[in-house]
Amino acid sequence: MDQYPHREQDTFVTHGFPASFGFKGGRDYVPGSDIYPAAIEVARELWGRYPDEAMVTFHKLLKHQGIFRLRSGVKGTASEDIYARFVFRLAEKKYELVLNALDQPIRATRPYDEKDVLRFSKMHTNSIRMTVRSDYNYMEQIIAMTKRLHEVVYPNVRAKWLFTRLHIKDRIDPKGYRECVLVIKAERKLQNILSQCSIFLNELAVGHIFFTAIANGV
């Protein structure tokens, strides 16, 4: 990975961006729909613009405050506790941002109604469609739509589906979603464990979202 773009002496060990997360909708963990927007705002702060591409993996549920750390040439130890990993591409360079937990409790909470997010959505055979709303961030809408799609397309899977991976290209800036038609299409399911759905914005393919089935729920 490339070095920290502003000060070469900084590494992911010494330079971090503390988050200010809250719980929402009765959850006792920070959802990916809040972690992702926070991460792309860190990227915008670092480079003055949103990345051209984002590849995201979520490793575990964050139940405390977190801190984003930018990777450099220094490798983390085997015991490094990573909750999420972001690989951002800007032009031809790639940068890695990881999310670690802090020993700080989360005290804030806010209401969140996922059914309201989907109020104007429409189901089709293997896809769900909705015009992007301004009162929710686009990742909240993508995740809620994908959840609903799983309930309809994969009704026989008795596990809880959890958002675990994301790949978006050329559509990171929230402004690019305003009043666009968002479509999530079910593509494949592997052994009732991993699913892959495609993301379309105004009929243009912009990425994929992956869910993992958790047998015991969360």
Residue 79 pLDDT level (bands cut at 50, 70, 90)? very low
Please compute the mean of the pLDDT values over residues 186-205 and round it to a whole number: 94
Query: Minimal CA–CA distance to 199: which of 180, 213, 212?
Result: 180
Residues 116-140 have a mean pLDDT of 97
Cα–Cα distance list, 137 to 32, 122, 144, 193 (Å): 12, 19, 11, 27
Cβ neighbours of residue 126 under 8 Å, at least 6 residues apart? 149, 153, 185, 186
90 is written with which tokens?
């800007």
pLDDT tier at 5 (50, 70, 90 boundaries)? very low
CA-to-CA distance for 190 and 213, rounded, in angstroms? Answer: 10
Cα 28 from chain centroid? Answer: 17
Q: Note whether 94 and 126 are within 8 A (CB).
A: no
Which pTM value belongs to this model? 0.89
| Position 191 confidence tier, pLDDT thresholds 50, 70, 90 | confident
State percent of the chain over pLDDT 70. Answer: 88
Q: How many CB atoms lie within 10 A of CB 32?
A: 24
Distance CA 92, CA 50 (A): 14
The CB-side HSE value for 53 (13 A sphere, CA atoms) comes to 13
- The per-residue pLDDT for 217 is 55
Q: Which amino acid is at 51?
A: P
User: Is the model's pLDDT at 76 over the cut of 90?
Assistant: no
Domain boundaries, the chain: 16-109, 113-214
Nearest to 199 by CA among 171, 174, 218, 179: 171
Which pair of tokens denotes residue 164? 């675990």
Q: What is the mean pLDDT of residues 87-106?
A: 96
Q: Which CATH class is domain 113-214?
A: alpha beta
Decide if pLDDT at 106 tops 50.
yes
Residue in this structure with the two tokens 């729909």, named with its chain if needed: 33
| Domain 16-109 is found in CATH 3.10.129 | yes
Tell me, what's the pLDDT at 158? Answer: 80
pLDDT of the residue at 141: 98
What would the pLDDT profile of 19-31 be if each residue is shown by its tens digit? 999 999 999 999 9
| Amino acid 1: pLDDT | 40
Q: Are 193 and 146 in contact (CB under 8 A)?
A: no
Asked whether the predicted pLDDT for residue 180 surpasses 80, the reply is: yes
Q: What is the pLDDT of residue 80?
A: 66
Say yes or no: do domains 16-109 and 113-214 share a fold. Answer: yes
Question: What band does 12 get if pLDDT is binned at 50, 70 and 90?
Answer: very low
Length of the chain: 218
Looking at the chain, the whole-number percentage of residues with pLDDT higher than 90 is 79
